[in-house]
Structure 1
């Protein structure tokens, strides 16, 4: 009798569980369909909104405004970092016009030779007229040239076979200039991506590592390969075995005091700049 009751209970439980799971799956699938529909619609909306910030009226071609807001706050500038991250994304989209990418490249190449306060490629932002910002700011920000180099490589890959002269005459020399700058400055303190702390940053070094690691395929300098190893050795030291996490900054020179060493930029760096094939500080890393 007990066995009979037990079988009834088990059967009832399994039936209830199956029905419940079926309902959960139905809800999940409906939500999934809704999410996919939203993503499809939002993709087009987001792309159009991005385009509004590219070459707005009165700015030179290739200028990417961080925001169209001009007061409270005024973000009507272009940051080397922000522009590079945006263009790397839209470079992968078929609806992005090659002319837009060329405008970006030309603007960035011009900015490489402009006089700046820091007198270096790490000048963080530029005015709507294309000149360098000369006010008080956290400078240099040396992740910028590394991110620009990464984006240039994506554009080169897209342009191959169509604009080979443009690549060899304009893009490769500019790419080499940024990569050389990375090899010269990777050990030096600079401001972080939040423009708050002056020091040596995990995020910046991860960007630099990726730029040189991939850059060697385009500009074959042994210095790039050896610097990658040096950067990796330094990055290993950001891991704190006592705290069991990666500290965001070393050799702090000034700026905001972030005593915990915890910062979301570490997660951003692992997701954005790690190379899955080599397993170094990937999102799935034990560290």
Structure 2
């Protein structure tokens, strides 16, 4: 895009975020309308039209997200790497965007899609310590180190090659957009911060930082250049691209300081990108794209707002939980790209947010925008990332795994004053299905936006249990949640802790 030098700032970043909040609110309203559409649409349909609707998921949004979450996680794993049941021909750590090979041809690995998906997987791992997920994350990091070194139509390692949007799943070059490197940096930084907290700073320094540094250098050099938007339809400046670039620079500078490195270009360019972000404000709405002959009113802005907010789907979903790119509004039939990996990742993010399991802050509160900005892009260090050896293991080991796991049960359930949520089940620690011996959950974390009840119970590690929640009202009336019984295999790990997030009642 044309350099925007000496341009007065249109508003403070806080005002931009305020309007971003309204956009997020609009997105939530749109989501609710989408949820309701299958139920209200028949009332407005022509009496002469009798479509056969495909069998779809049922229940409330809360119960649906809870049941869809494990389906979404498995959907991602099916499309991932050499062991993915649907990722035929993909290398370790390579994520297939969709199984669709024609109309549209999505059987490729996109830098953007992969980064967004792995950010959700990293968040899932940090919250739930999902078994086997850390190995997948490490394989992804190694695969990205290899991809960075490829020469392609956009250039090479240090000559703009990171702008190439997609590659074949066997890691050969496919032949751009400019958001991929920033998103990849954010995903890798999230895992790097975890490793640092576990005392594995050396792993971050030797394996992750060289990859992240290359991505940050691409951002600092090309942030003021045009590229294709989020949908790869409009070649112009993009609010989404500028937003993810700003976040990556803030996170990159923070990571560098924690490992004894520096990123001076992160610090010098972040304020310039922040100023650019403000220029997308028209006075009444955020301009998603500056070109393409369109209005600029696009979901691009909503997704950017969510991404910048450290985080804050639906009844067209078939009964098997498979998520496609689109659905026919006439009857709910999946259309376009099937098993779209990004859709599964979005579901995991939404479910975690609804359960109030939010990722760590990325530093939005530190944003300070100058009144005007001058200067331009900056070239940074660039070198092949060659260390991808993940042994010995990067996580802490224990000499003996605890035989008892303290499981924290979180149940998201709106209740009335005087109500208490209880849990009971098939083991003595849960009362052996006796409501009189059930465990009461605490409402200490309960809010109107996240009505979470919680309780921690020590259970035999590795044991299989069944359980259920019920509500006991102030007058003693007991209301059980719907069938079937819930089941759980209690985690075994060094920490002796686990979290179970539920929602269905």
Question: Shorter-normalised TM-score: what interval?
Answer: 0.7 to 0.9
In terms of fraction of residues, the more strand-rich structure is 2
Further displaced range: 157-166 or 93-102: 157-166
Displacement after TM superposition at 1:235 (Å): 1.6
In terms of fraction of residues, the more helix-rich structure is 1
What CA distance in whole angstroms lies between the structure 1 residues aligned with 2:207 and 2:153? 25
Counterpart in 1 of 2:219? 182
Counterpart in 1 of 2:324? none
Distance 1:58 1:163, change over 3 A: farther
TM-score by length of 2: 0.45
What CA distance in whole angstroms lies between the structure 2 residues aligned with 1:145 and 1:177? 8
Displacement after TM superposition at 1:226 (Å): 1.8
Cα-to-partner distance string for 1:240-277 (whole Å, 9 max, x where unaligned) = 12xx1111223x3xxx431x121110111011124553
Asked if 1:196 corresponds to 2:225, the answer is no
2:281 to 239, 242, 260: 239
Distance 1:227 1:271, change over 3 A: same
What CA distance in whole angstroms lies between the structure 2 residues aligned with 1:164 and 1:232? 30
TM-score by length of 1: 0.77
Asked if 1:102 corresponds to 2:138, the answer is yes
Further displaced range: 152-161 or 184-193: 152-161
Counterpart in 2 of 1:248? 288
1:216 to 236, 240, 253: 253
Counterpart in 1 of 2:305? 270
Counterpart in 2 of 1:151? 187
Counterpart in 2 of 1:284? none
Counterpart in 2 of 1:230? 272
Displacement after TM superposition at 1:113 (Å): 0.5
What CA distance in whole angstroms lies between the structure 2 residues aligned with 1:230 and 1:73? 37
What CA distance in whole angstroms lies between the structure 1 residues aligned with 2:187 and 2:61? 29
Displacement after TM superposition at 1:280 (Å): 8.2
1 or 2 for the larger relative contact order (CA 8 Å, sep ≥6)? 2
Displacement after TM superposition at 1:157 (Å): 1.9
Please show how residues 119-134 of structure 1 align to structure 2 within 5 Å.
119=155, 120-134=161-175
Distance 1:201 1:280, change over 3 A: farther
Please show how residues 3-82 of structure 1 align to structure 2 within 5 Å.
34-55=60-81, 56-82=87-113
Displacement after TM superposition at 1:110 (Å): 0.5
Aligned length: 237
What CA distance in whole angstroms lies between the structure 2 residues aligned with 1:76 and 1:69? 6
| Stretches of structure 2 lacking an aligned partner (at least 5 in a row) | 1-58, 82-86, 156-160, 257-261, 310-362, 370-505
Cα-to-partner distance string for 1:95-144 (whole Å, 9 max, x where unaligned) = 1521100110011111000011000211100102101211xxxx2x1110
